[in-house]
């Protein structure tokens, strides 16, 4: 009987994994007990500003994301500073990062778990309580910069999973 249960358990684990996940969900950003409302792909840039660091040296500091949210190759929304996610139906959420896990390579921005801090409008994002940023590719910008106030962007892609409790 235990052998018969092994296959359904494995199948259940596979069904609960995020679509297109490059690797298992890191424990730090997992959202046990929450269900997927929407999963989208994002293409865009992480924008950085040249600023003096705590040591007084100029360095690139993260400023904001700018990305298009895609589903089945079609634009369905946008992602920008806040961080905000807006769906084409008028619903939107603002998140606050609560946990992170490293990206797959040194050039990839971190995977994140964000709690929804506020929401606007009514639509698909209305019930969302948690947002996960996973499967990141690119987006990091390191090293010194030459002139305070300069901006530079680093292309990135990621998958965003919008979850609700219960």
pLDDT at residue 166, as a whole number: 82
Which tens digits make up the pLDDT trace of 65-107?
A: 999 999 999 999 999 999 999 999 999 999 999 999 999 999 9
Tell me which long-range contacts 109-115 makes (C-beta under 8 A, separation of at least 24): 109/46, 109/133, 109/136, 109/138, 109/139, 109/140, 109/156, 109/158, 110/136, 111/26, 111/29, 111/135, 111/136, 112/29, 113/28, 113/29, 113/30, 113/31, 114/83
Look up residue 57 and give its DSSP letter. Answer: -
pLDDT at residue 142, as a whole number: 79
pLDDT at residue 127, as a whole number: 98
Pairing outcome for strands 74-80 and 130-138: unpaired
Which tens digits make up the pLDDT trace of 29-61?
A: 999 999 999 999 999 999 999 999 889 899 999
Nearest Cα neighbor of 103 from 63, 65, 139 is 139
CA dist., res. 118 & res. 127, Å (int) = 11
């Amino acid at each position: 009987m235990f052998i018969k249960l092994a296959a359904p358990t494995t199948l259940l684990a596979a069904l609960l994994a995020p679509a297109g996940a490059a690797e298992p969900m890191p424990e730090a950003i997992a959202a046990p007990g929450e269900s997927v409302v929407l999963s989208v792909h994002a293409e865009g840039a992480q924008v950085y500003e040249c600023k003096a660091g705590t040591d007084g040296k100029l360095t690139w500091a993260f400023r904001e994301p700018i990305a298009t949210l895609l589903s089945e190759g079609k634009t369905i929304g946008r992602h920008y500073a806040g961080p905000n996610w807006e769906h084409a139906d008028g619903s939107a959420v603002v998140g606050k990062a609560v946990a992170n896990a490293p990206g797959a390579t040194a050039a990839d921005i971190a995977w994140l778990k964000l709690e929804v801090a506020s929401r606007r409008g009514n639509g698909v994002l209305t019930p969302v309580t948690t947002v996960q940023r996973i499967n990141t590719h690119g987006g990091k910008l390191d090293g010194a910069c030459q002139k305070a106030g300069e901006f530079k962007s680093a292309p990135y892609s990621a998958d965003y999973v919008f979850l609700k409790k219960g």
